[in-house]
A and B are shown apart, each in its own frame.
Chain A
Amino acid sequence: MSQGSAAQATESRSKVPVLEVDRLRVTFRTDDGPVPAVEEVSFQVERGQTLGIVGESGSGKTVASLAALGLHDPRTATVTARGLRLNGRDLLQMPRAALRALRGDRMSVIFQDPMTALNPYLRVGEQLAEVLTLHRGVSQREALTQAALMLGQVGISSPEARLRAYPHELSGGMRQRVVIAMALLCGPELVFADEPTTALDVTIQAQVLQLIRDQQTRTGMALVLVSHDMGVMATMADHVLVMYGGLIVESASAVDLFTAPRHPYTVGLLGSLPRLRRRGERLFAIAGLPPLPQERPSGCVFAPRCALAVAACRAERPAEQGVPGSPDHTVRCIRHAEVPAWAASLGLLDAAPPRAENSTGSEVLHG
């Protein structure tokens, strides 16, 4: 998995990526004129891999992912891209009806709040069966049998009885399992999960993450996981995109991103996590607020909050640059070469990169 813009990335792998997004832009039409929510986003995901997208509210992480699946509202949002392909199928040229047939079948979505994804008036069984009768044309009876099987696979005990339950009769963790079962029913090539465990307790979160991973191993599906939780990212993602102000500001393998980040924003995010080992010390807090989409600065989007910003940063948007010696690692920062020294001077990162051994004691707790 890597940044899609680089042509050599596709060359070095013969496999066709499951999802390929090339220069995606999303602009909202508003009364005050067009607002660019996502300025330019390119990425790809391969079979069995997990691409993580982190970012704060308003960074464009959800908007970009939904637009890639064609789940935007064309009345309010304009989506353009150089390329948008699901296993080679061109999603941009595809009629909406064909796209609709793909969604829920070849690609599916798991949202944060299972209650909004489930219809409170319908029994769980009816909602699960609908997916199969719609996409597979099987009988209601056959659909219910398969639905019960799937519920069993996502760890729900006595699945036949649960099919008759209404969503409100289930706990939050159970509901999220039902939503996952629904997303996996047709054996999708791609699953997009938007903060799937944010509403859950840590113990249930661990269960649900384990479940998603098991299913991924079983079916080889590709996963795009959107989360603000760096712990979840470190646990699940093979490759991570950091979004800020509608752009990918850094893209790297999970290990590189966590041990050798090159964007000051990524460093700040990691530095702001409470660490057990440094109890009571002041947390590194990124000053200020993320910019609203209509108020983004013309230069580097992060410059107003960045401790390293100089005049050149405010002058123009930094282009995406490769990080020497770190494959598949790109960053939008003109001073990225100075970032490791800066992070070290603030004590923001533990001296982890050179040693391959587990650095015991650097407990990073984040729930």
Chain B
Amino acid sequence: MAELLAELRDVQVHFPITKGIFRQREVARVRAVDGVSLGLRRGQVLGLVGESGSGKSTTGRALLRLAPLTGGQVLFDGQDISTWERRALLPIRRRMQVVFQDPEASLNPRMRVGESVAEPMRIHTKQTGAEVERSVAALFEQVGLSPELRRRYPHEFSGGQRQRIGIARALATSPELLVLDEPISALDVSIQAQVLNLLADLRQARGLSYLFIAHDLGAVAHLCDTVAVMYLGRIVEHGDAGQLFGDPRHPYTRALLASVPIADPKRARARGLQVLGGEIPSPLKPPSGCAFHPRCPMARPLCSEQAPALREVAPGRRSACHFAEEMVGLAPL
């Protein structure tokens, strides 16, 4: 058993933009993921944060082998699965599952929800009909739904309940890894807390590992052991969640944290709104040097000339900023 359950090594996912009807030629390429290296330890939760277009979802899909790899390697339990074919991947698929943001879109509206949960069991396990039935009932119980509800249809459930069903289905094959792609973003605040608690409980009970993709930094801080911050297809900072949020070593992480509104009127007013100017650039025309330099409050001439490497700046902490050392002990924004 490898120490790392899953690993990405210099993974690239590029989407070519082509022109021409008969002879297609590549005119440009979108570098959605451009050299990402990450490891996920067994039983750990790794958070992936960044703005829309940063490549965090595509990174999750690359890990699941659902996005075409342009370069790099994907390892699962020590095995390089980068080039495996569909058939060879089937036993691996059983061990890694995904929960999407919108449970409504991932449940078949014409299928009883119990059937949706049973389907992956029928495909991936050798259980008999009665065994599947029992397992589905047990899963419903585990995600906090009454087992009788499994005969109902998706539209009869609230958003939070549907997300619980989505989680039950992801657990149907007893996976070791769950990729959670914005699993609480579509839910009401009081329901988000319920689902976050459920995810924490399931992790404990089943020894699961999560790749938790989210833009809600509060939820990420709450659930994750380590966090990677992405910007324009690359990791700009990576490290222990508590340390990274408490003492960011990349100006982008710092700006991201400062943009989150504080739920405390006095402090919110004292701090004011911290505005990071501009928007994430088009991945078709990434800026020269450091991709963040046009928006960076700390940028200097070097930043537009030379792309910074992601390097270890403190034990267990990687940052892709030329001036990461200057951020040590900087007062939070």
Q: Judging by beta carbons under 8 Å apart, are A202 and B264 in contact?
A: no
Indicate which residue in B190, B197, B264 contacts A56 across the interface (CB closer than 8 Å).
Answer: B190
Please tell me if A219 contacts chain B, counting CB pairs below 8 Å: no
Contact A201 B193 (CB under 8 A): no
Within 8 A of A (CB), among B174-193: 188-193
Q: Which of A228, A270, A273, A276 has the most CB of B within 10 A?
A: A276
**Among B26-34, B131-139, B214-222, B321-329, which stretch is in contact with chain A?**
B214-222
- On whether A272 and B189 interact (CB within 8 A), knowing A280-B222, A365-B221, the answer reads yes
**In the complex, what distance in Å separates the CA atom of A287 from the CA atom of B191?**
8
Interface status of A207 (Cβ within 8 A of chain B): yes
A138 at the interface (CB under 8 A from B): no
Q: Is A187 an interface residue (CB 8 A)?
A: no
A269 B189 Cβ-Cβ under 8 A: yes
- Considering only residues 247-262 of chain B, those with a C-beta below 8 Å from chain A are 255-262
When the two chains form the complex, which single residue of A229, A234, A285, A359 contacts B190, counting CB atoms closer than 8 Å?
Answer: A285
Is A283 in contact with B222, judged by CB distance below 8 angstroms?
yes
Question: Do B273 and A213 have beta carbons less than 8 Å apart?
Answer: yes
Which of A195-249 touch B at CB < 8 Å? 201-207, 209-210, 213, 228-235, 237
A174 to B242, CA, bound (A): 33
In the complex with contacts A56-B190, A274-B219, A285-B190, A205-B263 CB distance below 8 A: no
Is B193 a contact partner of A203 (Cβ separation < 8 A)? Answer: no
- The answer to the question of B275 belonging to the interface, with a C-beta cut-off of 8 Å to chain A, is yes
Partner of A272, one of B190, B217, B269: B190
Interface flag for A279 (CB, 8 Å): yes
Which residue from B188, B200, B218 sits with its C-beta under 8 Å from A228?
Answer: B188
CA distance A172 to B215 in the complex (A): 16
Is B3 in contact with chain A by the CB < 8 A criterion?
no
For residue B159, which residues in chain A have a CB less than 8 angstroms away from its CB? 57
Taking a contact as CB atoms under 8 Å apart, the answer to whether A206 and B276 are in contact is yes
- Please measure, in the bound complex, the distance between the C-alpha atom of A287 and the C-alpha atom of B223, giving whole angstroms: 20
Q: Are B190 and A258 in contact (CB under 8 A)?
A: no
Whether a CB of chain B sits under 8 angstroms from the CB of A74 is: no
A contact residues, total (Cβ < 8 Å): 56
Residues of B contacting A213 in the complex (Cβ-Cβ under 8 angstroms): 273
- Measured in the bound complex, the distance between the Cα atoms of B212 and A18 in whole Å is 45
Report which of A207, A352, A365 forms a contact with B217, defined as CB distance below 8 A.
A365
Q: Which residue of B lies closest to A256 (CB)?
A: B265
Q: A202-B259, A270-B263 are in contact. Are A289 and B158 (CB under 8 A)?
A: yes
Bound complex: CA A289 to CA B190 (Å): 9
Residue of B nearest to A173 (CB): B279
Closest to A174 in B: B279
Q: Is B51 an interface residue (CB 8 A)?
A: yes
Question: Residue-by-residue, is A170-183 near B (CB-CB < 8 Å gives 1, otherwise 0)?
Answer: 01111000000000
In the complex, the chain B residue whose C-beta lies closest to that of A255 is B265
B274 CB–A CB distance under 8 Å: yes
Q: Is the C-beta of B86 less than 8 angstroms from some C-beta in chain A? A: no
Contact among A204, A279, A283, A290 with B242 in the assembled complex (CB-CB below 8 Å): A279
Across the interface, name the chain B residue whose C-beta is closest to A157: B278
B residues near A209, Cβ cutoff 8 Å:
261, 273
Contact in complex: B259, A56 (CB < 8 Å): no
In the bound assembly, the distance between CA atoms of A136 and B52 in angstroms comes to 38
A234 to chain B, nearest CB (A): 5
Question: Are A56 and B273 in contact (CB-based, < 8 A)?
Answer: no
The answer to whether A283 and B193 touch across the interface, beta carbons within 8 angstroms, is yes
Could you mark each residue 249-277 of chain A with 1 if its beta carbon is under 8 Å from any beta carbon of chain B, else 0? 00000110011000000001110111110
Contact, CB under 8 Å: B189 / A56: yes
Whether B190 pairs with A255 at a CB distance below 8 angstroms is no
In the bound complex, how far is the Cα of B261 from the Cα of A225, in angstroms?
Answer: 15
A279 touches B221 (CB 8 A): yes
The answer on a CB contact under 8 Å between B261 and A235 is: yes
Question: Using a CB–CB distance below 8 Å, which chain A residues touch chain B?
Answer: 56-57, 171-174, 201-207, 209-210, 213, 228-235, 237, 254-255, 258-259, 268-270, 272-276, 279-280, 282-287, 289-290, 352, 358-359, 362-367
**B-to-A contact residues, CB < 8 Å:** 51-52, 158-161, 188-194, 196-197, 200, 215-219, 221-223, 241-242, 245-246, 255-270, 273-277, 279-280
Q: Closest 4 A-B residue pairs measured CB to CB?
A: A231-B261, A272-B193, A365-B218, A274-B222
Chain A to chain B contacts (Cβ below 8 Å), 9 pairs: A234-B263, A259-B264, A272-B193, A274-B193, A276-B221, A364-B262, A364-B264, A365-B257, A366-B218
